[in-house]
Structure 1
Amino acid sequence: MEADLLTQKVIGCAIEVHKQLGPGLLESSYESCLMYELTQAGLLAKSQVLLPITYKHVEIDAGYRLDILLPNKLIIELKAVDKLLPIHSAQLLTYMKLAEINSGLLINFNVNKLVDGVKRFNLAKSE
């Protein structure tokens, strides 16, 4: 239940960013503004967090970065694309597994209504 409240709060912040900016900007613009909104909402969030992979018990920096991380709670993967594709979902699910975080949000800002660009994920189930 706590994860649902957290994702609702984050989606509310994302909706505010989308209302202010609309579609058509670079992903980095949405990321910066969403970080501002999350901070204003009192959420501890970090952007561009390095995500190493563990290979044969060795941590390797393979260049993966999480767009936004709410430590130990939620990974937010941002997009500004024409259409979300299965590879975008796979990317977030992989990040969730590597980071051992059960909840994730995939948010595409390049839509007319943000609700059409949001997908929630849980490692126990995805939608």
Structure 2
Amino acid sequence: MGTEQLIKLIINTAYEVRSHLVAGYIECVYKKALLLELGEAGLKVEDEVELPVQYKGHVIGNFRADIIVEGSVIIELKAVAHLLPAHEIQLVNYLTIAKKDNGLLINFGAAERLEIKRKYRVYTPHI
């Protein structure tokens, strides 16, 4: 499965979760449901993946990626009223540390609709 097809499948599963679980739950509820949906779709999923933060060759801390799908797409989940730039920066940091190119920031907490932002490790402008 190609990256674009994988991204579309992940987004579709997120919408499936949202159709059953509206805004108001805590993040881990949405995460468990999304993990179930992704698994039922036949995808390999990793939960709470520890990503070591290095500084000058020394591990100085760790981040935890919510979900990594098929070893290539990091999903960062939120259950907040609105996504903030800090949430996007967090995902890009995860992508950089894990050396993954594609990530999805998915917010189940917005009252009106599911919020999804796709982020990349490296920005390449299309000229």
Same structural fold, with TM-score higher than 0.5 when normalized by the shorter chain: yes
C-alpha contact 2:44 2:71 (8 A) present in aligned 1:
no
1:62-73 matched pairs, under 5 angstroms: 62-73=61-72
Number of matched residues? Answer: 123
Partner of 2:9: 9
Question: Residues of 2 paired with 1:52 and 1:70: CA distance?
Answer: 19
- Cα RMSD of the aligned pairs, angstroms, is 1.6
Hey, what does 1:95 align to over in structure 2? 94
The amino acid that maps onto 2:19 is K
> What residue is the counterpart of 1:31 in the other structure?
31
Give me the whole-angstrom Cα distance separating, in 1, the residues matched to 2:99 and 2:122. Answer: 12
Deviations 1:19-41 (A, max 9, x none): 00111100000001100000000
Report percent identity of matched pairs. Answer: 40
Distance of 1:98 and 1:57 partners within structure 2: 13
Per the TM alignment, residue 71 of structure 1 is displaced from its structure 2 partner at its CA by 4.7
1:31 is paired with a residue of what secondary structure? helix
Gaps of 5+ in 1: none
Q: In structure 2, what residue type is equivalent to 1:74?
A: V
What is the identity, as a one-letter code, of the residue corresponding to 2:104?
Answer: L
- 1:49-91 CA distances to partner (integer Å, 9 max, x unpaired)? 111112222334x241100012531000000001100000000
Whichever structure has more helix as a proportion of its residues is: 1
Aligned partner of residue 44 in structure 2, secondary structure:
coil
Query: Would you say 1:106 and 2:108 are equivalent positions?
Result: no
Query: Which structure 2 segments of 5+ residues have no match?
Result: none
Report the residue type matching 1:119 in the other structure: K
3-state SS of 2:88 partner? helix
Q: Which runs of 4+ in 1 moved over 6 A?
A: none
| Contact 2:80 2:109 (8 Å CA) reproduced | yes
Provide the C-alpha distance between the structure 1 equivalents of 2:38 and 2:70, rounded to a whole number of angstroms. Answer: 13
